[in-house]
């Protein structure tokens, strides 16, 4: 069942979304050479608290930090730690917060200093895939039209979509029904309805689609260790079209 949120619930999620976006914007500014992912995590924790919210990731199934930081071949769920960023790295920054019982979830991938043109293109295509998916999040469409939009954008650029991790509904929990794969045939699944709130999150790889999870039990990496990018927004479906709750 995909829950339909009331206007009051969506208003709470808007607040969570604004905080998520503020934190991500601050972390984008920090993504410079010699900064450690732990420093980014600490700043995120400080800011989330200052803004009256709490991390939706901390303690989730035992996740030990406040945000996820995924560098280069890391796809998602990288754990902040002592590793420092280097010129030409790319880093996915994923932030989820909860305030007043409601969550929002968003992610970006950014370059550290100068990055290769290949890395730049991967980031741009993944961002465009998210934009296309959001455009498909209208009441005239079905759920898989979102998935199809992502796959189409990735594959027409000869990149591959990660199949093992998916977008999701969101509300009082960070992960609710439905699952939203980043691939699929169009016009399948439930009709999209006003009041559905979804976290749409393309993960796109430069090489093979396959991923592995490292021994830390969290960090997903590409099987061929080539680059991966990840973008995510929490959006509400309305009769007037999609509303991005985590707009940066």
Site residues for Mg ion per CB under 5 A? 105, 199, 201
In the complex, the smallest distance separating the C-beta of residue 125 from Mg ion, rounded to whole angstroms, is: 19
Long-range contacts of the stretch 186-190 (C-beta < 8 A, 24+): 186/142, 186/144, 186/145, 186/148, 187/141, 187/142, 187/144, 187/145, 188/142, 188/143, 188/144, 189/142, 189/143, 189/144, 190/2, 190/142, 190/143
For Mg ion, which is the closer residue by CB, 89 or 105? 105
Helix (H), strand (E) at residue 25: helix 7-30
For Mg ion, which is the closer residue by CB, 40 or 199? 199
Nearest C-alpha neighbor of 142 from the set 184, 191, 199 = 191
In the complex, the smallest distance separating the C-beta of residue 171 from Mg ion, rounded to whole angstroms, is: 13
- Residue 131: phi, psi to the nearest 5? -60, -45
In the complex, the smallest distance separating the C-beta of residue 199 from Mg ion, rounded to whole angstroms, is: 4
For Mg ion, which is the closer residue by CB, 153 or 201? 201
On whether the CB atoms of residues 75 and 213 are closer than 8 A, the answer is no
In the complex, the smallest distance separating the C-beta of residue 131 from Mg ion, rounded to whole angstroms, is: 17
In the complex, the smallest distance separating the C-beta of residue 105 from Mg ion, rounded to whole angstroms, is: 4
For Mg ion, which is the closer residue by CB, 62 or 239? 62
């Amino acid at each position: 069942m995909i829950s339909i949120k009331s206007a009051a619930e969506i208003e709470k999620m808007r607040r969570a979304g604004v905080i998520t976006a503020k934190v991500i914007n601050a972390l984008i500014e920090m993504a410079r050479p010699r900064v450690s992912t732990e420093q980014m995590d600490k700043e995120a924790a400080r800011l989330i608290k200052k803004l009256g919210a709490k991390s939706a990731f901390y303690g989730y199934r035992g996740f030990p930090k406040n945000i996820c930081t995924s560098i280069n071949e890391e796809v998602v769920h990288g754990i902040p730690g002592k590793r420092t960023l280097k010129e030409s790295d790319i880093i996915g920054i994923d932030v989820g917060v909860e305030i007043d019982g409601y969550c929002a979830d968003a992610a970006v991938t950014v370059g550290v200093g100068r990055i290769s043109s290949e890395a730049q293109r991967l980031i741009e295509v993944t961002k465009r895939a998210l934009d296309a998916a959001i455009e498909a999040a209208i009441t005239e469409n079905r759920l898989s039209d979102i998935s199809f939009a992502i796959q189409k954008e990735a594959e027409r650029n000869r990149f591959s979509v990660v199949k093992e991790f998916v977008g999701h509904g969101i509300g009082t929990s960070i992960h609710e029904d439905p699952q939203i794969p980043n691939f699929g045939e169009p016009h399948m699944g439930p009709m999209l309805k006003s009041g559905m709130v979804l976290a749409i999150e393309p993960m796109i790889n430069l090489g093979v689609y396959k991923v592995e999870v490292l021994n830390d039990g969290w960090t997903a990496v590409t099987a061929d260790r080539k680059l991966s990018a990840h973008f995510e927004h929490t959006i509400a479906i309305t009769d007037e079209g999609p509303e991005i709750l985590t707009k940066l």
